[in-house]
Structure 1
């Protein structure tokens, strides 16, 4: 397990990560916003993993231990904010929708970091306003703690296309279906089918970022047909898998 680093100041900068490259667990005294201009970024804490393609950004509050991982070639824009400047007032990470205006504000503000130009102060104020009103997205994949539930989730993480029922998975890990169903609701706040669908969607984001064709992604992630995959993906992210690839 990597050592958790304390990096007091959250940076305001752009950093590129190669496919599969990661940033080890660390925490800041500052809040910060993480935006992937290209690729998909995953931010992981003890509570779970948040995923963000180019239409999303991840807000990480001060003091939160987290790690980053790149899916696809990643261009990360970090916006560090002093703890006293908190436009959201959240205790944990969240994912925000990023429209064209917020995207350009993030990129331009990071590009000008360190300059003393007066217009950067105005840019910062507008950026804060846009962050404050950005719609929040339920795109966390929560992490289980009970060892029986964790064993089931690990089986599905290893093979998201695994079609087995909760009862069948329970027999493999030595837990009753009713017990596991209760644990999914209590620990993860969702049903087993909801968690598995969310896992498959986030796996699809990662695989699409690696350049895998849409049809292959659909089958690798467990959808019976490409059209079913496209429909679920569109409802979750607001655009089709094909247009998602073109955005990146």
Structure 2
């Protein structure tokens, strides 16, 4: 980021087209510093886990979710080793993106959307065919009906410290009372402030942080019981219940789906 604010990326979409996609296959962990685009962006992956930070929120981006970043919204992103990140840039203005919000939001990465985005990237198409394909892709962009993998970061410095520590180690077993003691607060005060600033309870927030890490480890092929313990669950059945409530699938179903999606892309 420059002294005058976030770096501004050049326009990516070729003249006359509606969108274009860039591939980033990550050999080592990478961080893209804070920047803005003059175009809208859809950040997604075909394997592994990426993460996006914008508007005071942190988004985990597994293969089942994309994140919509409107033009000129400052954001930064990171990805783990082995992730296959895709950034689709879309022209600003016009009716084709009018239905999308002016704030960062999740988009369900459905199989039709993934296939068409990949075909636009890889397929040998003439100009008319590519225009038709891109219009269909835009019709498939629908905001996710719920927050899914979104984590709102607290604004106050002491709660931001707590949240950052949990993201670094979601299995940390310190209780609300323990964190409150470190912040010099009463436990009820910390809990009340945390919910006021994030929109969810401290416990709910930590569960979501744990599941973000779990999704990453599951896509790496770790056994479900091992992952449950790694992220702080003593009882694997509780982990499975929480995972199903967030993703709509059990961990085993999620792993099978991710493998099928990778096989389709490959």
TM-score normalised to the size of structure 2?
0.83
Secondary structure of the corresponding residue to residue 84 of structure 2:
strand
Equivalent-residue separation in structure 2 for 1:56 and 1:193 (angstroms): 23
> For each residue in 1:95-124, what CA deviation from the matched residue of structure 2 results, as whole angstroms up to 9, or x when unmatched?
1112211111111122259x6521111111
The alpha-carbon deviation at position 34 of structure 1 amounts to 1.4
- Report the equivalent of 1:23: 32
TM-score by length of 1: 0.89
Aligned to 1:9: 11
Aligned to 2:247: 237
Q: Secondary structure at the match of 1:131?
A: coil
SS at match of 1:121: helix
Task: For residue 28 of structure 1, report the CA deviation from its aligned partner.
Answer: 0.3
Aligned residues: 245
Equivalent in the alignment of 1:144: 154
Give the alignment's Cα RMSD to 1 decimal. 2.1
Q: Are 2:106 and 1:95 aligned?
A: yes
Structure 1 runs of 4+ aligned residues shifted over 6 Å read: none
Per the TM alignment, residue 43 of structure 1 is displaced from its structure 2 partner at its CA by 1.0
Unpaired runs of 5+ residues, structure 2, are 14-19, 260-266
Deviation at 1:75, TM superposition (A): 1.8
Could you tell me which runs of 5 or more consecutive residues in structure 1 were left unpaired when the two chains were aligned: none
Is residue 109 of structure 1 aligned with residue 120 of structure 2?
A: yes
Q: Is the 8 A contact 2:26 2:80 kept in 1?
A: no
Report the Cα offset of residue 189 of structure 1. 0.8
Aligned partners of 1:173, 1:151: CA distance in 2, in Å? 9
Q: CA deviation at 1:84?
A: 0.4
Question: How many angstroms apart in 1 are the aligned matches of 2:205 and 2:184?
Answer: 20
Give the match for residue 85 of structure 2. Answer: 76
